[in-house]
Amino acid sequence: MNIGLYPKIAYEGMRKNGKLYIPYCITCILMVAIYYIVHFLAFSGVLIGIPGASTAVQMLGFGVYVITIFSAIFLFYTQSTLIKGRKKEFGLYSVLGMNKNNLGMIIFYETIMTWIAAIFGGLILGIGMSKVAELGFTRMIAAPVNYDFRISTDSVLHTIGTFTVIFLLIWLNTIRQIKFSSAIELVRSEKAGEKPPKANWFIGILGVIVLGAGYVLAIRIQQPISALFGFFIAVVLVIVGTYLVLIAGSVLLCRILQKNKDYYYKTNHFVSVSSMAYRMKRNGAGLASICILLTIVLVILSSTSVLFNNSEYCLTVRYPNEIGAFACTYGYDENLTDLGERLDDILYEAAEAHGATVTNNKTYYTYSICGYLENDVLQVTLDSLSDMTFIDYDKVAQIQFIDVGLYNRVFGYNETVEPGKAIVGTANDITLGDTLIIGDSTFEVSKRIDDRIDEIDPASKIAVSPTIYMIVDDVEEVAQNYIQYQDYNGEPMLAWYWYCRFDTGLDVDGQIAVANDLSAILNEELGPLNFTNYYCDSHENQRTDFLSTFGGLMFLGILLSTIFLVSCVLIIYYKQISEGFEDKSRFEIMQKVGMTREDIKKSINSQMLTVFLIPIVFACAHLFMALPIIHKLLMLMGFMNMPMLVATASVCVVICAVFYAAIYKVTSNAYYKIVS
């Protein structure tokens, strides 16, 4: 066969199937463009020198891998749908004398043409939009704007290489599908699966159980650190449960509708329900995919937008004063108290040397120990690393002991505590009895001060693990009870924390200058003492990092949501187009026996509404069941306003629903044109 014939056949095949290939090529172009833009922002160095952009660049770097993986999976899925719709055509080629090698060459040229369109179109769009994306990104993170235009050769080469590999794998997968199908199977592929599936109660019940387990896990998690570990487990359970429920439940739904004579035996329901009943196993998987994509979009947009819009609130929670300093070391040393007092004096003197008026100063130190809190007993001893591997992180707690004299002096109270007793407070939902056993020591709770915890530590509610503050009569004496406890590495478990925060009354530059000077002093004083951690920073200095982090998340969220929404649109479009061709003959028969075009439109609307409502309803249910665990994760970043999260999620649902309704309108019209 003349080799020049293959490209011609491939081109004609793509042209005649333009309804399938044009949306596919547009999607490929968009994914290539977004990949280039994200890679350009992350690795081209265009953001180097922008204050606070390092964190955002790391997020964009992570986004490159997410886009790569999703592009590969989704383009595989879409190409499989395309080839399935053309198997009859390839079967006819086989009947006319073409062998599998000839078909492989046709598919090769189709893949090459799609690759060329995707790479060139995507790079042109990506390069053209890269500056717009850069300006939008810098605006989000409140960074200085640079109007120089540049093209990253490295990003171009990475984009070409990544999508070349993806298209190569797609071609090999397509060849595999054709190679293992006979000519008769290819010709009759449109008729495959005509036998209506049976409702599988086992799969349906299993899906409900798995989905319910994901919901319960999302709701029951109480602490942020547990949410960090449990989120991915909950996601997997919800995804698996959604597929099982919709695959089995959609079949069951058709059976229920068919048994309802008042509903089924109507012109606008009879044909639509009968058509759905034959393909619900496949239809259920498609609906589940749409549902998962919608859920991902809603989760991403809700979480990133609420963080971005409340960045100032999160900053204030983390850094309530203009200046904040911290130091930590492990083990007991009787000289640490003197060191803490000396640091206080040095820092205040240095701040005043900058012209600051020190106010709202809250400086104190604590001894701390962590363990496993259960039934008012804190188990301090850990036998091995495996204990930490299988531990219930909802029960991990930190105890901070504060001397009552220091507490009264710093926070302006006049409390008294007897030996063996403690004034106890916690910012988290921890149920405590009248007695606490910490290691081998027992403390009687003489008073609860939960309402005062915010003034001790405004960020206590967003701690990785819940913290219990215990005001004791002599913190030095109490600390000596825990000197012997060691972790599985033989290191002391007792820690000494020093906290210092105050306001200066200076402008932004003055606050940053004071923080930098105090940070140098801490390094000079604590560096030789081998402290585990110490720092000094300002509220204004952290503002840049917060804006960069949350702005970067929002920007990445918008890009990923765009990809997922486009993918969702494409799945729905292909679903309706393929089913339109399948249903065309059925509607032609129904028209011959008296069904009017108006009846056809009503039947289509009935089918569309039944099918389209399922994914959006499930996606909304997934989102609102996930809000508790999302809230716990956002607490790690300083966000604690649950009503604001619910309101933001609701707005995102409305926006997504409007977009989804537009998709419904467009695809239903395309379906109607095919079948009528």
Which of 192, 214, 243 terminates a domain? The answer is: 192
Q: Is residue 519 part of a domain?
A: no
pLDDT for 44 equals 77
pLDDT for 386 equals 44
pLDDT for 162 equals 93
Q: Is residue 525 part of a domain?
A: no
Query: Rounded CA gap, 661 and 676, in Å?
Result: 22
Q: For residue 157, give its domain range.
A: 1-192
One domain, residues 295 and 333: no
One domain, residues 181 and 220: no
Which of 166, 192, 218 terminates a domain? The answer is: 192
One domain, residues 60 and 182: yes
Q: Is residue 351 part of a domain?
A: yes
Residue 622: beta bridge partners? none
Token pair 């929404």: residue: 565
How many other C-beta atoms are found inside a 10 Å radius of the C-beta of residue 166? Answer: 22
Which of 192, 214, 248 terminates a domain? The answer is: 192
Under-50 pLDDT residues of the chain: 192-194, 383-389
What's 676's DSSP letter? -
One domain, residues 339 and 217: no
DSSP-derived 3-state class of residue 456 = helix
Q: Is residue 556 part of a domain?
A: yes
One domain, residues 290 and 177: no
Q: Is residue 520 part of a domain?
A: no
One domain, residues 472 and 426: yes
- Look at strands 435-438 and 441-448 and give their pairing: antiparallel
One domain, residues 488 and 420: yes
Q: Which of 157, 163, 183 is nearest to 111 (CA)?
A: 163
One domain, residues 179 and 207: no
Single pTM value for the model = 0.75
Q: Is residue 515 part of a domain?
A: no
What is the DSSP annotation of 279-342? SHHHHHHHHHHHHHHHHHHHHHHHHHHHHHHTHHHHHHHH--SSEEEEEEEES--TTHHHHHHH
Token pair 């004034």: residue: 423
**Residue 469 near residue 425 (C-beta atoms within 8 A):** yes
**Residue 621 near residue 218 (C-beta atoms within 8 A):** no
Token pair 């911290």: residue: 326
Domains in the chain, number = 3
SS (H, E, C) 422-461: EEEEECCCCCCCCEEEECCEEEEEEEECHHHHHHHCCCHH
Q: Is residue 463 part of a domain?
A: yes
One domain, residues 134 and 101: yes
pLDDT for 384 equals 38
One domain, residues 395 and 411: yes
**Residue 436 near residue 424 (C-beta atoms within 8 A):** yes
Tokens representing residue 392 in the block: 């219930």
One domain, residues 501 and 601: no
Q: Is residue 623 part of a domain?
A: yes
**Residue 323 near residue 354 (C-beta atoms within 8 A):** no
**Residue 470 near residue 462 (C-beta atoms within 8 A):** no
One domain, residues 307 and 380: no
- Burial class of residue 481 (count of CB atoms within 10 Å of its CB; 0-12, 13-18, 19+): middle
From first CA to last CA, the distance across the chain in angstroms is 40
Query: Rounded CA gap, 145 and 282, in Å?
Result: 50
pLDDT for 291 equals 86
